[in-house]
Amino acid sequence: MKSLKELSIVFKNIFKEFKQELHNIHNLQKVDYCKSKYLGKKSVLIQYFKKIKKFSVEIKKKYSFILNNFKQKILENILIKKKDIKRKILENKKNIIQYDVSLPGRRIETGSLHPVTIIIQKILSFFLKMGFISLEGPEIEDEYHNFDALNIPQNHPSKNFSDTFWFDSNRLLRTQTSSMQIRALEKYEVPFRIVIPGKVYRYDLDSTHTPMFHQIEGLIIEPLISFTNLKWFLNLFLQDIFSTDIKTRFRNSYFPFTMPSLEMDIQNSEGSWLEILGGGIVHPNVLKKFNINSEKYSACAFGIGVERIAMLKYNISDIRYFFENNINFLKQFKKE
């Protein structure tokens, strides 16, 4: 094994030879070949690395400094050379390429809003014109706001783990935007008109249901508002979204937080009836918690399924299309 001084001289000479060879190279393939020659498995450098394995740690450190210093210089020069060659290649290409300025520009395709977003904006536009204010609420709710305050009994099926996404014994992904009715009653003085758009979550999946969907809750608290007012209001809303000649029907229903309650259906192009929203007069037990004078004020509420409206509006047969990220499906929709 050579002394440190001798080894240093050997690698200085090898480095000079390397620089001269690298200077005469003008393509990337030959640069890689040159790198392999001086740093590859059969190079002088690797042979010396193999030799010093047998020596003590102290001697290894001294020899490794020279060997690694040589290796680092080689790599730095290789990198500089590659950058220089790539720059020259690019400059040559720029000089060769001829641009035809008479050709039309490349078309940039414009995006569009998601159909669910379009429908939400249309719904909110109608209600804002009718004097409502729009609120938003948390998607992670507690049992009180999502169930108990809405007069939903402890043994109600919607509280089951098979129907609802629970985090623990108290927190859950909200099953309805009705929970914001309670938060609004806690925060605002009556009278008021509010709508609450947002995502809700339930264990359900088929052509007309998904585990996550969008709902818009409405609440009106005013002097002497009636069931007839609610039906008129909902008919007016659907005529605004669709057209004045749509066919709708009301059915008796049951919700723990309204009494009396209704469900509203709309007829699709095939003549079938599809449930589109539910509502009713807010149950006295709900209002009683907030000391609202029932002789002066009454309240009605309704919940609108956004995807259901979008399905009817755009004649879509399967609700799951909205969430499959199919660009060919989504790009059909433009804001009206």
DSSP string across 144-208: HHHTGGGT--TT-GGGSTTTS-BSSSSEEE-S-TTHHHHHHHHHSPSSEEEEEEEEEE-S--BTT
Model pLDDT, residue 1: 59
For domain 115-330, is the CATH number 3.40.50.300?
no
Model pLDDT, residue 256: 85
Strand bridging mode 258-267 / 273-282: antiparallel
Length of the chain: 336
Domain boundaries, the chain: 4-96, 115-330
DSSP string across 187-200: HSPSSEEEEEEEEE
- Tell me the whole-structure pTM to 2 decimals: 0.64
- Placement of tokens 């309704």 in the chain: 302
Model pLDDT, residue 142: 93
Model pLDDT, residue 280: 92
Q: What are the mean pLDDT values of the chain's consecutive 10-residue runs (336 residues total)?
A: 73 84 86 85 79 76 80 88 87 70 78 88 93 93 90 82 88 91 90 93 80 92 89 91 85 88 85 86 86 86 90 85 85 68
- Placement of tokens 């229903």 in the chain: 253
Model pLDDT, residue 2: 66
Nearest 10 degrees: Cα torsion 175, 181, 182, 187:
140
Model pLDDT, residue 331: 81
Q: How far is CA 78 from CA 12, 19, 30, 65, in A?
A: 17, 10, 11, 20
